[in-house]
Amino acid sequence: MSRTLTPLETTLAEFPLKFAVAILIAEPSLSDADVRLTNGTATLIQFGCNRIALTCFHVLEKYRSAPDAIFQIGNVKLNPTVQLVAEHPTADLATIRISESQAEGLTTCDGMRAQFFQPTSWPPATV
């Protein structure tokens, strides 16, 4: 049996979605009419004046395995290999630097300006 979420539960559930954007990998084929699309997700984070997109390592590997593929975060096309900050195959994580100009023009799939999560302190305090 399901129940209705309280306003607080709804807000807490929706909060992470403010900082999530789609990743699109377009692989051209031999025919101009055919394009293979793969998607993923990135979380946008800002540490001071540094902005990153945090995604999965396997998303980055998919791009690397597709010659001439186009990689797009939100509406911004970029080369994640050139802008790669770090990757960790075991943890399935990859961080991609987002420039200031890319961040200013970045929109979500619904056309809204993308938001970057800004931690109040980093690294977090020991619990």
Q: Could you read off the pLDDT tens digit of each residue along the chain, which spans 127 residues?
A: 678 989 898 888 888 888 999 999 998 876 666 788 999 999 999 998 899 999 999 999 999 998 889 999 999 999 999 999 999 999 999 999 999 999 998 987 677 788 999 988 877 778 7
Pairing between β-strand 50-55 and β-strand 93-98 as defined by DSSP bridges: antiparallel
pTM beyond cutoff 0.75: yes
Q: Which residues of 4-31 are buried (b: 16+ CB within 10 A; e: fewer)?
A: eeeeeeeeeeeeeeebbbebbbbbeeee
List of residues 6+ apart from 99 with CB closer than 8 A: 51, 83
Highest CATH level, class, for 19-98? mainly beta
Looking up tokens 């991609």 gives: 96
Phi-psi region of 111 (alpha: psi -120 to 50; beta: other; left: phi over 0): left
